[in-house]
Structure 1
């Protein structure tokens, strides 16, 4: 369809919608949301077929105005907290799987670099983990309890301390995205190198399985969610680098809001990871099958919620819109 025909076909609807928004005409929030969805569909169509056009600029401005209006007037239901985690966020997150993949590949790559560096330089582990931690662990190994570090602190204190620290790391991974995404990549790199050298250290001591079955009880969720926080940082940084059809300021505001939304989704998982590290990891006497069950269940939970379920919701949503 030519741009002129597209604009003529929808002009009256756009003008009516703009009048509602600019004149603060009171309509039902659900009706406003429906109009907003239709405008975003038209915006998407214009982005595809009429790039750099006046129609695209007009629809872009109209969608921004509508977004602001909706979130100022829409009354939140009592079940919003539940629907955010079960419907709203997973569908929203399906748009950011590319950033998630970049964060994952970055973390995996530097974990391997950390392990390789530890293997080729005898002092690298001490440089990264510190002499105090290495000496304490070697002493625990000599005593026959290499994972004793997870038993030193009271369960509740450890749970609270670990959860707060993990949230702090996630906030850093997100907020450093403001440095054009490079800050986020740096935080991911630093934590990945630490993990890689840490695992190689236990491998070098002949304790790879003993360490892995213990550490990944809580680490599966903990590391996964740090990567997801890195994804949020990339969303923030990329909003500055690649504003698209928005002004850089509009893009930055959207990127910040979307990044914060991704961060909010991780809070329950950080609590779970902190609980596992504080109350479960310390039980190194548990049978291997139980440790594997916890690790496998944690991995399934992360992959289901952040990968499979968003894709499924997106496909279902597109199918409904096509009907």
Structure 2
């Protein structure tokens, strides 16, 4: 069947599903089964077509609708962390990858530029901070800056500041994502300059093992906040086959879910920075364990698990429809 005929034959039903979602469980199950069949057909015969993308989006929305209405024994929060957030993450993996590329690109640029121009560190962190760090390095305690201040007050102050910055990343996405890109690039550059500050003195490896006790979760959350801002801007600029405001509303909803999802990461990262990073001299095995565990968690929860969940999508949905009916 030609694609034009396929669209003509089913367009009214697709539009009805989108504009007037089925109300009863039986209608929902029937509509979803038909939609899955249409999607399978489109993937087989028109794999790169916009029609396939449209059907995939509609099927995903209906899937979420089914699961949002299910009664989960473990409660709404459990469902959010176990299913809803990972599926939103998977849905926007390409945008998150773009945010990661922006961050890493400017991290590397700043790292190598700072190797040639040491004054850059002063412009980023201020003369006093750099001087104190150099003194700590000379004294054989390069990361002594993390040992200062009250642990609890440091935790609260860092947490509040990071959450504030992250929401600026997200909200500024409304301006076509340009301010978000600037802020994300600036943060990547700042980390690159900070890394070079220690690498130039022979503490490059220690930088990763100490700073990333808290930095793994913190930087991951910052990148995700940047991605949420890009999602917000992209949904308005490129609505696809949907109305612009409808696409913008969906993008805003997904962005908010991501922002809610990264709040615990900021809280835990600030807790680690305030209380545990300072222990790198006394119990280095523990800080190394925290860094390793954080890296493994980020890889699993934000990359592997969402992909696994999406691969099981069709089977899970069919079971969900049966249970819902």
1:123 aligns with 2:119: yes
User: Equivalent residue of 2:279, what SS?
Assistant: coil
User: Equivalent residue of 1:246, what SS?
Assistant: coil
- Report the Cα offset of residue 239 of structure 1: 0.8
**Residue in structure 1 matched with residue 293 of structure 2 by the alignment:** 297
**Residue in structure 1 matched with residue 305 of structure 2 by the alignment:** 309
- Report the Cα offset of residue 41 of structure 1: 4.6
**Residue in structure 1 matched with residue 322 of structure 2 by the alignment:** none
Give, in whole Å, the separation in 2 of the partners of 1:102 and 1:19.
32
Q: Any conservation in 2 of the 1:103–1:230 contact (CA below 8 Å)?
A: yes
Unaligned 5+ runs, structure 1: none
Q: Any conservation in 2 of the 1:232–1:262 contact (CA below 8 Å)?
A: yes
- Report the Cα offset of residue 306 of structure 1: 0.8
Q: Any conservation in 1 of the 2:210–2:288 contact (CA below 8 Å)?
A: no
| Residue correspondence of structure 1 range 159-308 to structure 2 within 5 A | 159-308=155-304
Residues 32 and 286 of structure 1: is their aligned pair in 2 closer, same or farther, counting only changes over 3 Å? farther
| Residue correspondence of structure 1 range 46-195 to structure 2 within 5 A | 79-195=75-191
Give, in whole Å, the separation in 1 of the partners of 2:111 and 2:289.
26
Give, in whole Å, the separation in 2 of the partners of 1:243 and 1:306.
25
Give, in whole Å, the separation in 1 of the partners of 2:235 and 2:20.
29
Give, in whole Å, the separation in 1 of the partners of 2:7 and 2:186.
51
Q: Any conservation in 1 of the 2:99–2:226 contact (CA below 8 Å)?
A: yes
**TM-score (ref. length: structure 2):** 0.80
Unaligned 5+ runs, structure 2: 320-325
**TM-score (ref. length: structure 1):** 0.81
Q: Any conservation in 1 of the 2:280–2:287 contact (CA below 8 Å)?
A: no
Q: Any conservation in 1 of the 2:155–2:273 contact (CA below 8 Å)?
A: yes
Kindly report the root-mean-square deviation, in angstroms, between the aligned alpha carbons of the 2 structures.
3.6
Deviation string for 1:180-230 (max 9, x for gaps)?
A: 122221111000100000010111223323333211110011111111111
Give, in whole Å, the separation in 1 of the partners of 2:247 and 2:19.
24
